């Protein structure tokens, strides 16, 4: 779990979205974190301290005088590896901007030395107000990480920007506040998912790739300070927060998208399970099952990884993936050399469409690093850290 051993404080303010702070606490706990909660006096009008105490198993503080010593805002600031305020009201954002410390949350914020994650939630007109925007600008300039709200129907019945960001988006920004910036400023091109090769309007040839690893890599690239560009075949996954997203369908679509973006990339991670072959012909109408069984002739798709290796420029890092059923390391090493890669991640076929991943990282010098079994999000971080920590 990515957050195993991390200590996080969640601050909740007086917004109708306060209940989502409870969801965030549970989400972070499932990722392995130890969580404490503090709440503003107005936040207590929306959610009770007993609820937060039951969730965290910890004392819940509201006023800066709360606690045994009256210095808990200092002690909590030192205890916390990360501090996230979600939801953050216009009032609390204004206080943070001005350095006002009239409650426990704002007092802790002034004492906290790291990057604080702030997730605004309010009426769309309040959010757009120049005062709120100026306050958020000041916070960003001071190193706060702001998770912009989403658009949709608000509690007041209006439509617009102001809804609390998705929990996973807040979590991803929180990771960025916690992890080292090994990829700071680096543009990282990532491919994901299994391509589809249609032979009529609804039938196609594909594979069992879920796209989970590629999407996890995009998330972790952002968390490590990078600029992910995700080229994805069709999946059931939501677009990763912080990533430039390019949707494709077939191997030829992916080839075109990769070639178009290749020269701007500092790092290329080819994780997609690209179909090696496509139907030689396409029927514009659905093939009926009452006819004789049709023959589907196949022809080769472009070898995207080989093309990337041939066009690789000096200083550009190219990482491939190899899913093998036997002679895994030997076959992966051969692929690394043939395709002119810098690294290759080898794994068994049974990682497809599963939440867990394991395998090996091979480099051009013959080094092999084992990837122990872990969830794909943790594995993505493990792979990136092993390669770029150097």
Q: Average pLDDT per run of 10 along the chain, which is 390 residues long? A: 93 94 96 95 92 93 79 93 97 96 94 95 91 96 93 67 90 95 96 91 86 96 97 93 95 96 96 89 79 78 94 94 89 94 91 84 94 94 92
Predicted local distance difference test score (pLDDT) of residue 373: 94
- Check if the beta carbon of residue 332 is closer than 8 Å to that of residue 322: yes
Q: 214-224: b or e for each residue (b if 16 or more CB lie within 10 Å)?
A: bbbbbbbbbbb
Q: 265-292: b or e for each residue (b if 16 or more CB lie within 10 Å)?
A: bbbbbbbbbbbeebbeeeeeeeeeeeee
Predicted local distance difference test score (pLDDT) of residue 158: 67
Task: Give the residue numbers marked as catalytic.
Answer: 156
Predicted local distance difference test score (pLDDT) of residue 154: 64
Predicted local distance difference test score (pLDDT) of residue 323: 86
CATH architecture of 187-388: 3-Layer(aba) Sandwich (3.40)
Q: Which residues pair with 138 in a beta bridge?
A: none
Long-range contacts of 163-167 (CB under 8 A, 24+ apart): 163/17, 163/121, 164/15, 164/17, 164/20, 164/86, 164/87, 164/119, 164/120, 164/121, 165/86, 165/119, 166/241, 167/20, 167/23, 167/24, 167/27
Give residues with Cβ within 8 angstroms of 18, minimum separation 6.
12, 39, 43, 46, 47, 87
> For the chain, which residues make up each domain, given as ranges?
7-178, 187-388
Q: Which two tokens stand for residue 84?
A: 């996230």
Compute the distance between CA of residue 177 and CA of residue 145 in angstroms, rounded to an integer.
8
Same fold, 7-178 and 187-388: yes
Predicted local distance difference test score (pLDDT) of residue 152: 67
With residue 378 as reference, give the H or E element that holds it. helix 376-388
Q: pTM for the full model? A: 0.92
Domain 7-178: give its CATH code: 3.40.50.1950
The average confidence (pLDDT) of the chain is 91
Compute the distance between CA of residue 201 and CA of residue 288 in angstroms, rounded to an integer.
12
With residue 305 as reference, give the H or E element that holds it. helix 304-311
């Amino acid at each position: 779990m990515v957050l195993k051993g991390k200590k996080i404080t969640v601050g909740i303010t007086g917004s109708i979205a306060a209940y989502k702070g409870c969801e965030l606490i549970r989400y972070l706990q499932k990722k392995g974190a130890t969580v404490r909660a503090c709440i503003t006096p107005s936040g207590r009008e929306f959610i009770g301290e007993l609820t937060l105490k039951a969730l965290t198993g910890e004392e819940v503080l509201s006023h800066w005088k709360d606690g045994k010593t009256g210095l808990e805002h200092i002690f909590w600031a030192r205890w916390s590896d990360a501090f996230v305020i979600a939801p953050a009201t216009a009032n609390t954002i204004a206080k943070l901007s001005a350095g006002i410390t009239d409650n426990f949350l704002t007092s802790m914020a002034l004492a906290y030395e790291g990057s604080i994650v702030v997730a605004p939630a309010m009426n769309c007109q309040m959010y757009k107000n120049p005062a709120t925007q100026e306050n958020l600008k000041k916070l960003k300039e001071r190193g706060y990480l702001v998770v912009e709200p989403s658009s949709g129907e608000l509690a007041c019945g209006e439509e617009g920007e102001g809804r609390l960001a998705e929990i996973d988006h807040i979590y991803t920004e929180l990771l960025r506040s916690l992890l080292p910036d090994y990829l700071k400023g680096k543009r990282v091109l990532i491919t994901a998912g299994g391509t589809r090769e249609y032979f009529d309007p609804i039938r196609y040839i594909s594979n069992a790739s879920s796209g989970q690893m590629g999407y996890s890599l995009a998330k972790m690239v952002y968390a490590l300070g990078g600029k992910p560009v995700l080229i994805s075949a069709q999946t059931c996954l939501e677009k990763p927060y912080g990533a430039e997203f390019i949707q494709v369908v077939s191997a030829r679509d992916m080839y075109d998208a990769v070639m178009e973006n290749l020269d701007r990339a500092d790092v290329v991670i080819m994780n997609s399970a690209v179909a090696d072959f496509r139907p030689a012909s396409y029927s514009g109408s659905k093939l009926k099952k009452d006819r004789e069984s049709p023959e589907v002739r196949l022809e080769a798709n472009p070898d995207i990884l080989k093309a990337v290796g041939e066009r690789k420029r000096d200083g550009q890092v190219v990482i491939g993936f190899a899913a093998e059923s036997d002679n895994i390391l030997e076959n992966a090493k051969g692929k690394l050399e043939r395709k002119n890669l810098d690294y290759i991640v080898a794994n068994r076929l049974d990682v497809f469409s599963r939440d867990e991943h394991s395998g090996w990282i091979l480099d051009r010098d013959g080094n092999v690093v084992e990837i122990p079994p872990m969830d794909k999000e943790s594995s993505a971080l493990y792979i990136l850290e092993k390669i770029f920590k150097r």
